[in-house]
Amino acid sequence: MARIPQRPAQDPRALKGVLRSFGFAWQGLAHAWRSQRNFRIEVYLAALALVLALALGVALVPVLLLVLVVLALELMNTALEAVVDLASPAEHPLAKAAKDTSAAAVLVASLIALVVGAGLFLPAIAEKLRTYGKIP
């Protein structure tokens, strides 16, 4: 049986415990990056949104907040799916409901981010097009 590692909070050396916690968090990010296609797509779209925000002069804070919400929910969805798979390896209606609902949270956040992002980016794009005489 695999040995359970010591919890960072139990480490008597506080800084080492904090550093180990960050290490576990990076391992979680790496796992999500390697195993979750949607997470990778969302990271690429987030990078595109940030580059466009810089290029168009759109406020970065709202864009960063939208990115944070979508990526954080995707990570929580990944974690929940792993726990459900561990607890219920066989198909079960409640396991499916939990996984589908978690995925729905990501979908809702992504759609809201799309709508809010359109409200942020479309005026800036229209202004750039007016500047270059592409639209009246």
Catalytically annotated residues: 74
DSSP state of 13: S
Query: CB-side exposure of 98: number of CA atoms within 13 Å?
Result: 16
Task: Tell me the Cα Rg of the chain.
Answer: 20
Do 67 and 117 touch, CB atoms closer than 8 A?
no
Helix axes 60-87, 93-131, angle to 10 degrees: 160
